[in-house]
Structure 1
Amino acid sequence: MASSCGGGEGATVESREELSNGMNLMDFSDEILLHILRYIPVSDLVLSIRRVSRKLAALSLDKSLTHLVNLHKDYQVDKDKVKQLMREIGKEIHELNMAGCYWLPGSTVDQVTHCKSLVRLNLSGCPLTSLRLSKMLSALPRLRSLAIDVNPGFDASHLSSECKATLSRVLELKQTLYTRSYGVVPCCTSLEKLLLHFEILDRSCFILSGQLMVGESNVPHYQNLRVFYARLAPGLVNQEVVRLYLAVLSDRTPEKLHAFLISAPGGFAESCTVKNLLDSMARSVTLDALQLPRS
């Protein structure tokens, strides 16, 4: 009986050891570990986790983890971490989301130039000047999707020929406008999707340097456009500026347009521009989605 009990106790100890060994994270398959690592911020993954072991070093640099880098409102990431991250894996990044990283200085945002393979870039909320944007986009020839803010003082004449060449290949553009401007739209000659957020303050209508003319935007640039979306903040100035965009579309409505959406609080005053555009769309395009403010 004693022998039997001893054997049972030994088996229990052995089972516990096997169970303990089975819980070792490093014994999991690469597929499972990669799935787990996807929940860790890339900055921690590259700058900390990969230094734990050789296996984690290799897995942390797997393309499935480094192709998409999301720093969106990652308040734990400071300027030094971002600079080091760009130096470590910049060439591997295909999609970079820095939206809402308002605390990062412009010199840190400049580090995006290390990401030569970027296809999608979101810089909404980041500090950008015309010259900084020009330098950055000049180094990103593969870019196809861009999101930026257009602030007072933006001057498209500061954009270099290399920058404009990059913009000419962009297919999707999101612009948040804080001033009366076309931003980079006239340079985006291949646009298929245009998303506009109008956040212009009423007092900006007195800034003459921000005035727009329809002639600033080249009509043929819109002919590949499939989706047009505009979201307006309250204020008559936002309605005035969006009509300048619509005037260009009404002059020659893109035949490939299939979604046209305008979101505005309250009403949207009637105008000849809007009426002409709607008449043109009724004649020349077949829409899958249409949304207009109450008017």
Structure 2
Amino acid sequence: MIKHTALTIAGSDSSGGAGIQADLKTMLSCGVFGMSAITAITAQNTMGVKSIMQVTPSILSDQLDMIFTDIFPEAVKVGMTFNADLIEVIATKLSEYKAKNIVVDPVMVATSGARLINEDAIDSLCTLLLKEADLITPNIPEAMILSGLSRISNAEDQLLAARIIREKYDCSVLVKGGHMSDDSMSADVLYKEDNSYFWYTSPRIDNPNTHGTGCTLSSAIASFLAKGESMEDAISKAKNYLSRAIAAGLNLGQGSGPLWHMVPSCCDNTDTMKNFSSINDNQILL
């Protein structure tokens, strides 16, 4: 029986591979009851985004009120926010209801390359929403924007970006290394509010179908936080789940296809995908 709850605040993906649809599938697979507040409706498939229509700030506000005043979420994942007006609503409501375990995936560009946030909304994202977050999960291009670095090309750059973002926004940050050029391993770094940091490394999986990986990972992290896991363990289990979803080898569509979200989320002793390591401030493990 599912006992825990989580909320996703994000855009809708008509092809089902990312956004709200991926989030709810992930939450269910990870053993929590998922709820949603939709920020925008996108017309998209595995090859790209055709059009986007935002919801009104008032309907987004009403969605959040109805959720928080009835089934209070134990964790919140925030994805596509689209514009400054919607970001202001989200930040205000998260603060008003004292939401906990807030994971912000600062979605800026889709896998296909389509822009998913207005240029003038980035400042609102940084000044209003990120200060409410417990964890931010940027990929390399997003980490460059948030940190102000012009280049992140190696582990030292990645760690530096994580440190800058943590200090800038006063929350933990997971800088994902999936966009790095190393062909054999993928490494993400968690930089926590207490200035400790952890590297998560795993073999890259040979599967070009990666539509919705960022949405899936952040939703899985939120799910495990809702179940009471520590941040380090929540990320470790979420990465295990993501690896399983990619390795399942679902092959749909003509572009970058979706993952298979209904794989088991549990971590067992035979799981070779897990390689979670804690290191001190003078070491880098890849």
- Per the normalisation by structure 1, the TM-score is 0.34
Higher strand proportion (structure 1 or 2): 2
Structure with the bigger RCO (C-alpha within 8 Å, sep 6+) is 2
- Per the normalisation by structure 2, the TM-score is 0.34
Larger radius of gyration: 1
